[in-house]
Amino acid sequence: MIIVMKSGAGKKEKDEVLKRIRELGYNPHVIHGTTRDVIGAIGDERGKLALQEIESMKGVESVVPILQPYKLASKEVMKDSSLVKISDTVTIGGSKIIIMAGPCSVESEKQIIESAEAVKSAGGDILRGGAFKPRTSPYSFQGLEEGGLKLLAKARDLTGLPIVTEVINPETAELVAGYADILQIGARNSQNFALLKKVGQLKKPVLLKRGMAMTIQELLMSAEYILAEGNQSVILCERGIRTFETATRNTLDLSAIPVLRSKTHLPIVIDPSHATGNHHYVSPMSLAAVAAGADGLIIEVHPDPEHASSDGPQSLKPAKFALLMEKMRRVAEAVDRTI
């Protein structure tokens, strides 16, 4: 249920409503809107009728059911798009499209600093780089782990770029959160509910990737796990899904952008690198993502892709990334956005 407060409702009235929601056995989640607050009352729906009584409380405008199975992620709870603040200068979900870029994995100090400088000088907003890598083969490079996180922090100190990096299990989530500005949940872990609950309890924005065989509804249900734990800073990421087509690594579902837009207030990011698996296809799909309304992109960029420890074939060289930034700016302008 959503409890819509009157626009003039004060703190005392809101506190009374929060108290009553708890007494009725629900968890309240306050969502601050531009003109008024709404409170999501989330929990077992068997007591649904009892919540209706809140409608007669002071300061309450209405009590309405949330029809979708994802409650806090639903547009029903908040009509405006969520703004996810990453740093004093970077916010995702507004009119500026946020570009995250960097190597698949952090490999060395030289590699991550060079990458960060390239991202910065091309006008990127956030540095990406994996320190804990979820690899298909146990014999592939697994990442530099905490050493990699330290190198990312160093690159952030040098460039001022916030960092996004993957967290692969609940045990190391706090360690990663100690360094990262955004916690990335990878495609392979997007229905790891223990991990989703864990990052829901941390006070860091989460970039949640769509699993390779996940429906849009399932993606929103995974987001709901994070939101239900109290973390409202969730960013969704479409990174390609498995289809019968083998010409690309995955099939980029660009229609996920307008579909998600109609269902959720959460920001939407596109990953054209993992979606295509081929650096030749990254630029056209990036431009298409900007045109289709993405709030951000996450793009793999490597100074020496031929020798990358992971995902070299889909990584852009810095010069090509800089050129792509220029083109994306022009497309963004055409859809009334900036980059």
**Binding status of residue 253 toward Mn ion by CB under 5 A:** no
Closest contact distance (angstroms) between CB of 117 and Mn ion is 20
Tokens coding 259: 């579909």
Instruction: Tell me the one-letter amino acid at 255.
Output: S
Which of Mn ion, ligand PEP, none interacts with 265 (beta carbon under 5 to 8 A by kind)? Answer: none
Partner whose binding site includes residue 277, from ligand PEP, Mn ion, none (CB under 5 to 8 Å by kind): none
Q: Which is nearer to ligand PEP, 239 or 265 (CB)?
A: 239
Binding mask 123-162 for Mn ion (x = CB under 5 A): ----------------------------------------
Using CB under 5 A as the binding rule, whether residue 282 contacts Mn ion is answered as no
| Binding-site string for Mn ion from residue 87 to residue 126, where x marks contact by CB under 5 A and - marks none | -----------------x----------------------
Q: Describe the crossing of helices 256-263 and 216-228 by its angle, rounded to 10 degrees.
A: 50
Q: Which does 209 bind (CB under 5 to 8 A by kind): Mn ion, ligand PEP, none?
A: ligand PEP
Residue 197 tokens read as 């609950």
Shortest Å, Cβ 236 to ligand PEP: 12
| CA-wise closest residue to 224 among 66, 79, 95 | 66
224 counts as binding Mn ion under rule CB under 5 A: no
Q: Tell me if 112 sits within 8 A of 157, measured CB to CB.
A: no
**Candidate list 311, 315, 325, 337; residue touching Mn ion; CB under 5 A:** 311
Nearer to Mn ion, 92 or 104 (CB): 104
CA angle 140, 207, 325 (to 5 degrees): 85
Length of the chain: 339
Pairing of strands 60-64, 2-5: antiparallel
DSSP symbol at 118:
H
Helix%, strand%, coil% for the chain, nearest 5: 40, 20, 40
What single letter denotes the amino acid at residue 312? G
- Selected binder of ligand PEP within 14, 71, 75, 209 (CB under 6 A): 209
Q: 3-state class of 273 per DSSP? A: helix
Cα 223 to Cα 213: distance, rounded to the nearest angstrom: 16
> What residues make contact with Mn ion under the rule CB under 5 A?
104, 311
> What residues make contact with ligand PEP under the rule CB under 6 A?
104, 130, 134, 186-188, 209, 239, 271, 274
